[in-house]
Chains A and B, each alone.
Chain A
C-alpha cells in the first residue's frame, strides 16, 4: 500500500480568491497521476490524468502541474467560485500495481 498525501485537508476561501493544494506521492516507479473533483452527494468526476514529468493541464479556471522526480502535483483554482466547493482527490498509479492509490482529499469551501 502506497502513501499518497494531500494537503491541506480542508480550506475555506473567499469568492474570487485563487487557491492551490498539493498531492504528494512516491517518486519512484511513477506511471500516472489523476485528479478528481467530488461534490457532496455526487460521485467523483475526473479532472486530469497526467503521465509525464512537467505535464501541465488546464480546464477553465482549474489547472494542474506534475513533478514526478520529487513526487508532487499541484492543483490550482483561479478566482474561486461557490460552485468550486468540493473535495478534490488525487490518485497515484505506479508501475508495480494494476490499480490507483487515492489520497484522502482536500475539502474546499468557497464562501460567497
Chain B
C-alpha cells in the first residue's frame, strides 16, 4: 500500500527556473493538498483540491499553480522559482470532502533549494 507518493525527494533550482513537484495517492481520497514547512513556522497550506477538476487557494498560494485532472494526482508547479520558495514541501490527502474531520495522510516531503 503506497499511500501518498511525492517526487522528487530533493531538488535544487536556480532563480527563475520552473519545475513540477509530483504527488500521487492510491487511497481514492477526494481531498489533496500541498503544504510548505519553514523553520519556526507551522505547516502552511499552499493549494488544495476537493476533487478532480476543483482546486482552491490556501494561505500562501503566490508563485504556485496546481491542477487536478485525476483523483490520484495533484502536481504543484513553480512557474519561476525564487529563493523565498526554498522550503520543504508536503503533499497530503484525506478521505471525504471535509478534511477537517478526516486525518491527513502525508507524503515523505520534497526538500527544495532555490539559489
Query: Which residues of A come within 8 Å of B, CB atoms?
Result: 1, 4, 31-32, 34, 36, 42-46, 49, 51, 89, 91, 93, 98-105
Contact = CB atoms under 8 A, between A and B. Distances in A.
A45 B99 CA distance: 15
Range of interface residues on chain B?
A: 20 to 34
Contacts, number: 62
Interface of B: 4, 33, 35, 40-45, 48, 50, 56, 58-59, 90, 98-109
Interface of B is mostly: loop
Contacts of A98: 48, 50, 56, 98, 100
Taking chain A's interface residues, is the majority helix, strand, or loop, or is none over half, making it mixed?
A: strand
Nearest to B60: A1
Given A43-B90, A44-B106, A45-B106, A32 B44 contact: no
Contacts of A49: 101-103
